[in-house]
Amino acid sequence: MAKTKSIAGILGEARRHLPRAFGSILAQGSKTGLRFGDRLFRRLTLAFAFSIVALTLLIAYELYRNSVLSIGKFGWGFFWSSTWDPVFQNFGALPFLYGTLVTSFVALAISTPVGLGVAIFLSELAPRWLSDPIAFLVELLAAIPSVLYGLIGIFVLVPIMRSLGAPYGVGMLTAGVLLAVMIVPFITSISREVLMAVPQAQREAALSLGATKWEMTWMAVLPYARSGIVGAIFLALARALGETMAVTMVIGNRPEIKLSFLEPGYTMAAVIANEFTEATYDLYINALVEVGLFLFAVTIVVNALARLLILSVAKKVEVRE
């Protein structure tokens, strides 16, 4: 016991001295200009950062290059035609867009409150003996391969949905619910990390002003962690938009636009995965790649819109405060 204390003491002392030491190094650096190692480090990390940009552009270009035939033949009509007929070579992607958006937003609508709730419980309310094992289980859920979720979907979720009144059991709502289960771990584990990084002083300040636990969480902790939580939700949304295997197993794979979420649908990622291996002529493959290009664009647009939406809401809250 005494020994640990002394180690803590040493660490504390080191921490007190360190900023001074760093300060002097930085001061030296600015006097003599950046040292070689620093410059190398800077360039290297810059190169890494730009490789992401290059990769994104390369993916977009390759997707475009491999879908020229279909773009040339169908033009903009590709995006609002709902016929997908490989036999008569007529392709339109609207039903896939619809299915992708519906399932992703159903998933997000369910998983955001649940995932965030779990994260708040784990970081703010649960005793340590409970929060650690639950956090571990949540991360375990994230590691389950999606085909397993698909199987659970087929054998457990689909019969439940049918008994609850869905005409076929499979359908867009079923896929959305399954996706929600799959993305909750993402929202929870990242949000929990972010919430735990909120300085204790925030909480103590709120509590000292007489705030309840709820008020403390809502007014002092969540606003502080806002950007991190938003990031967690985006990551979950991205996963939902691109999820393939589990969705195709429970959505019914029917390229039609139906208003009822209980009806079967189809998603962009699912049609690519389903039909790519047996796509036997060039226009067909090009049309599938164009669906991929479309998905790529949709992901960017949806992310941008969601970011704008959340930023504007966040601003309003701040103004009111």
Partner 1 sequence: MSQTLLSAVLLLFLAAIGTAADAQTFINGAGATFPYPVYSKWFDEYNKLHPDVQINYQSIGSGGGIRQVGELTVDFGATDSPMTDEQLEKAKTKLLHFPTVLGAVVPTYNIPGLTGELRFTGEILSGILLGEIKRWNDPGIAKVNPGIKLPTGNIVVAHRSDGSGTTYVWTDYLSKLSKTWEQKVGRGTSVNWPVGLGGKGNEGVSALVKQTPYSVGYVELIYAEHTKLPHGAVQNREGVFVKATLKAISAAAAGAATNMPADFRVSITNPPGKEAYPIASFTWLLIPEKISDPKKGDALAGFLKWMLKDGQKHASDLLYAPLPKEVIAMEEKAIRKIRY
Q: Does 248 bind partner 1 (CB under 8 A)?
A: yes
Residues in region 21-80 near partner 1 by CB under 8 A? none
Residue 254 beta carbon to partner 1: minimum distance, rounded to whole angstroms: 6
Binding mask 279-318 for partner 1 (x = CB under 8 A): xxx-------------------------------------
Residue 277 beta carbon to partner 1: minimum distance, rounded to whole angstroms: 3
Nearer of residues 176 and 252 to partner 1, judged by Cβ: 252
Q: Identity (one letter) of the amino acid at 311?
A: L
Residue 245 beta carbon to partner 1: minimum distance, rounded to whole angstroms: 8
Select from 125-133, 212-220, 226-234, 271-279 the region that touches partner 1 (CB under 8 A): 271-279
273 vs 246: CA distance, rounded Å:
11
Select from 52-60, 66-74, 156-164, 235-243 the region that touches partner 1 (CB under 8 A): 156-164
Q: Does 254 bind partner 1 (CB under 8 A)?
A: yes
Nearer of residues 101 and 151 to partner 1, judged by Cβ: 151
Tell me the CA end-to-end span of the chain in Å, nearest whole number: 46
Q: Does 264 bind partner 1 (CB under 8 A)?
A: yes
Nearer of residues 238 and 273 to partner 1, judged by Cβ: 273
Q: Footprint of partner 1 on this chain (CB under 8 A)?
A: 83-88, 154-155, 158-159, 162, 168-170, 248-249, 252-255, 264, 266, 270, 273-281
